[in-house]
Amino acid sequence: MKKLFTLFALVIAVVMTSCEKEVDLGYPTSVTFTADGGEKIVTGVEPFTDAHIHDYNSGDQGSVMPSEGDVDIEVFKWLKIEYVAHSTELKIVAEPNSSGKSRKLHIELHSGPEYHVVEVKQE
């Protein structure tokens, strides 16, 4: 019984340490675009390895596009991101919004088991 308990405790410890954790990597938590769209460059303190666009309402996620040299690109709905892995800079490009309704997506910047979320809103 003692061996079973030790094994169970070890499994729980591994699971808990492998979980991702949201942290502040020094990037803004929110970026807003006008209905005209455009592009913005955001910078942070800690470098990130990869970034992904998410629609938390639907659970959908962006698609990674072919890289242009060292630049990784992801596009989802009306938003595009470009970045170089292990950098502290992210380029965010929003298409014009002619719907008359505000819209929102989230970008997750990952650095190992840690991540930072940037909420992107557009009028």
Domain ranges (residues) in the chain = 21-122
> Domain 21-122, CATH 2.60.40.10 — does that match?
yes
pLDDT of 27: 97
This prediction has a pTM of 0.81
Following DSSP, what letter does each residue of 10-77 receive, concatenated? HHHHHHHHHS-EE---SS-SEEEE-TT-EEEEEEEEEEESEEEEEETTTTEE-EEEEEETTEEEEEET
Radius of gyration of the chain (CA): 18
Q: Provide φ and ψ at 36, rounded to 5°.
A: -70, -15
Which DSSP state fits 102? -
What's the burial of 62, exposed, middle or buried (CB within 10 Å: 0-12/13-18/19+)? buried
pLDDT of 63: 78
pLDDT of the chain along its 123 residues, tens only?
554 433 333 333 333 344 679 999 999 999 999 999 999 999 999 999 999 999 998 888 887 776 777 899 999 999 999 999 999 999 999 999 999 999 999 999 999 899 999 999 999
Q: Name the token pair of 69.
A: 């040299």
